Chain A
Amino acid sequence: MSEMLTISIDGKECTCKKGEYLYDVAKRNGIFIPTFCRSDAFEDHRACCRICIVEVEEGGRTKVVTSCVYPVERECSVQTRSEKIMEERSVVMALLVHRAPEAPSFKNMVGRMGATETDRLVTLDGEKCILCGLCVQACNALGTGAISTVNRGTEKKIDTPYGKGSDACVGCLSCANVCPTGAIEYSETDTTRTIWNRDFELVRCEECGQVMGTQNSVVFAAADEVVPTMCDSCRKKHLADEMMATYRYV
C-alpha cells in the first residue's frame, strides 16, 4: 500500500497518497483551485496555463508551484489564496487574456480574480486559443491523431496537416469539447457537421431521431463491431423489450 501523508491546505487538514497531485487533493477536499489546461480525462497534464499556482511551504521554505502537476512527496502546508498567489495569478490572467481576448471562459475568471493592468502586452485580436494542447492530446488519445501543433514561436497554432480536411479526422468533436476556451470552431446543419475544414454526414437514431454523431465517428467507435443504428437509450429499451418477449413465458 502506498504511503499516506497529512498536509494542510488553506488551514484544512487533508490526507493523501504520497505522489498524488496537489490539485487533486485540494479538489477532493472541496478547495477550489482554478485551472484551464487540465482535464480529468487524462492522467498526464499539460501544465502550461499556470493559473493553478499555489504556495507550498515545505521544511521551512516556501515556493510557488503549479498544483496540477505538483506531487505531494512530504508533509507541507499549502496556501491557495495567499496575497502573493492572488497577485501572481492576476499576472497570469493578464497574459492569458492578452493571448486569447475572445475566450469566453476568461471573462468570468477575470471578474473573479482580476487581471493585472498593463500596456506592455500585445493583444491578439480575435484569438481564443491558449495553445494548451488539450485538443491534440484528446485527438491522440482517441487514436485519430488528426490535429497537431503547427509552426513554432509566435506562429504556433493548432491545425490539421496543410490546413486541409484530414482523412484521419472523424468529426467527433472531442477536441472542441475538451477545449477550455471554446477555441475550436464547428458548425452544424440538420444533416452535416463541419469541423477542421471538412464536412461530415450526421447520423440519427432510427428510433428517436437524435443525432448520434457523424457517420465516420460512429463507424470509428464501433471498431470491428456492428455499427449501431440506434442511440444508446433506444438500444437499451429495445434490448429490454426483446428480453421481455423471450422470457415472458418461462
Chain B
Amino acid sequence: MTDQEKGERIREIVAAYPADQRHALAALQDMQHAFNFIPEEGLVELAKHLGCPQAQLYSMATFYKALSLTPKGEYIVKICNGTACHLRGSMNLATSLKSELGIDPGQTTEDGLFSVELVNCLGSCALAPVMVVNDTYHNRLRVEQVPGIIDSYRQGGASDE
C-alpha cells in the first residue's frame, strides 16, 4: 500500500462516521482491520474529524487489546489463557510457539507474518485448550500439532477460510 493509498483509506474510514466522539472506538477498529494496526496519521485524522484531543484516542488505542499501535503480523495467533485453557496447558502452547517462531506473546515476527497474543476466555472452554489463528479455531490442541499448523500458514496454503 502506498502512502497515498493509505491516506485515502484513512479518509474513507473517518468520513464514514458522523463527527461525534462516540464513534471513536468503531473508527479505530476499522483502521485496525484495514491496516492491522492504527497508523499515527489515522489517529491524527480521526481526532480532527471528531473534534476530540488526540490524547483521548491514544488512551483508547492503548487500552483495548484489540487495538494496536504497531503493525501486527498477517496471521494473528491467539492463545487462550482463560481458566479452562490454562489448566489444560495453554502455556505449553505458548512455549511451543516460542520455539517455532522465536517470539513471546505480544510480539510480531520480523518477517511480519505472525503475531502471538495471550487472550482471556474465548468462550469455547469445552474445547480447551484453544488457539485461534485469525478467525480459525484450533481446538483441543496438543503441543505436537503446533509446528504443523504454523507451517501450513507459512506456506500460505491454509489461509483462513
Contact = CB atoms under 8 A, between A and B. Distances in A.
Contacts of B43: 161
A148 B59 contact: yes
B54 A151 contact: no
A152 interface: yes
Interface residues of B, number: 13
B62 A160 contact: no
Q: Is the interface of B mostly helix, strand, loop or mixed?
A: helix
Contacts of B63: 149, 151-152
A139 B58 CA distance: 15
A160 B43 CA distance: 13
Contacts of B59: 148-150
Interface string B10-53: 00000000000000000000000000000010010000000011
A210 to B, nearest CB: 31
Contact of A168 (B40, B55, B62, B69): B55
Contacts of B83: none
B38 to A, nearest CB: 11
B56 interface: yes
Given A152-B62, A152-B63, A147 B40 contact: no
Interface of B: 40, 43, 52-59, 62-63, 69
Interface of A: 136, 139-140, 144-152, 160-162, 166, 168
